[in-house]
Amino acid sequence: MKRHAFTLIELLVVIAIIAILAAILFPVFAQAREKARSASCLSNMKQIGIAAMMYLQDYDERMPSDAGVARPACPAALDGDWGKDFWVFHFYPYIKQRAGNIQQQGASIFNCPSGSSLHEMDMPGDYVCYGFTPQWLQQNWNLVPRANGSFAWYNSYAINEHLCDAEFPNEGPELARWEEPANSYMILEANKSELEGDELSRTPGTFAKNNWIGAQVRHSEGMNITYLDGHAKWLRVSYGTLSSSSATRANWISPPGAANSQFDCGPWTAPGNDNVRFDNGQPCK
C-alpha cells in the first residue's frame, strides 16, 4: 500500500491555522478567566455586605467606630480609626473568616483573586491607642508577627470612611441618617482599608501611610462595589476626559472623586447629604 507523507507546505498551513486559532482563542480564555475572578470577588463582597447588615442590627445600626470615645493615650483615634482601619476583624463573627495573615494571602473572603495588598499595623501608635498585645492579636485576629515584630494582613477592599467616623459636621455612622442607602457606597475594591471621594488615587506603591494607590480597577475596566443596603454589583470606572489621569482624584466620574480634601460627591457623603450630587456646590468632575 502506497503511503503519502505531508508536504512541507501542508505542514506550514496546518501550523499557520493553529497559530491563528490560538491568537483568537487566548484572549477569549483570558476574558473568561477574568470573568470568573470578577464573579468570585463579587461573591466575596456580597457576603461582606450581608455580614455588615448583621453587624448593624447588633450594634444599633452603627458601623464599627470609636468616634467620640476618649482615649487619653491617643487623641488622634477620635476620628474612628478603630472602625475604618480594622473593620475586617470586627465583621469576623458574621463571616467566620479573617483577613489572611502574612502566611495566608489567598485564604480569605477579604482577598480578591485579581489582587490584594498588605496592610501593616501602625506601630507603636495602634498599640498605644488600643492596648493591643502580640498575644492578643495572635489569639483573636489570627495574625502572625513579622520579623520586625509588627503585624500585617492581606485585604482587597476598603470601607467608606464616612461610615465609621464623625470628623465632619453633622456626620455619624448611624445607618438611619443615610437617605439613599441603595446608592451610597459601603465597600469598594482598593489598596487600603478605608476610602472616600477625596482620596481615590495617590502615589503608586505598596500600602503604607501616605503612599498608596487607592481605588482599584481590577475587573474589565471596572470594580465591584457593595452598597449601604447590602447589595453588590460591578461598576464601570470612567474619568473626565480620555487624557485624564486616574492619579488625579478630581478626574474620577464613576465612582465620583472630589476636587479637594473637604468635600466628597454624593455616594460618599455624610448622612443627610448623600442625595447631593455636587462637590462644594459644583457638579462632580
The 3 state secondary structure assigned to the chain is CCCCCCCHHHHHHHHHHHHHHHHHHHHHHHHHHHHHHHHHHHHHHHHHHHHHHHHHHHCCCECCCCCCCCCCCCHHHHHCHHHHHHHHHHCHHHHCCCCEECCCCCCCCCCECCECEEEECCCCHHHHHHCCCHHHHHHHHCCCCCCCCCCEEEECEEEEHHHCCCCCCCCCCEHHHCCCHHHCEEEEEECCCEECHHHCECCCCCCECCECCEECCCECCEEEEEECCCCEEEEECEECCCCCCCCCHHHEEECCCCCCCCCCCHHHCCCCCCCCCEECCEECC
Global confidence as pTM: 0.83
Q: What is the pLDDT of residues 160-215, one digit of tens each?
A: 988 887 654 445 567 877 888 899 999 999 988 999 888 887 766 666 666 677 88
The cell numbers describing 124, all together, are 507603636
Percentage of the chain beyond pLDDT 70 is: 76
The pLDDT value recorded for residue 252 is 86
In the prediction, which pLDDT does 40 show? 92
Per residue in 245-278, pLDDT (tens digit) is: 787 787 888 898 877 666 677 788 766 667 666 6
CB 87, CB 71: distance < 8 Å: no
Give pLDDT tens digits for 5-59. Answer: 667 777 788 888 888 877 776 666 566 677 888 899 999 999 999 999 999 999 8
Q: Which of 125, 55, 114, 46 is nearest to 87 (CA)?
A: 55
Residues 151 and 121: beta-carbon distance below 8 Å? yes
Q: Which residues pair with 112 in a beta bridge?
A: 115
Q: Mean of the per-residue pLDDT values for the chain?
A: 81
Domain boundaries, the chain: 9-283
For 95-129, write each residue's pLDDT tens digit.
988 888 888 877 789 999 988 888 888 777 777 77
Q: Confirm if 274 and 183 have CB atoms less than 8 A apart.
A: yes
Question: CA 165, CA 142: separation in Å to the nearest integer?
Answer: 26
**Rounded Cα distance, 268 and 37, in Å:** 26
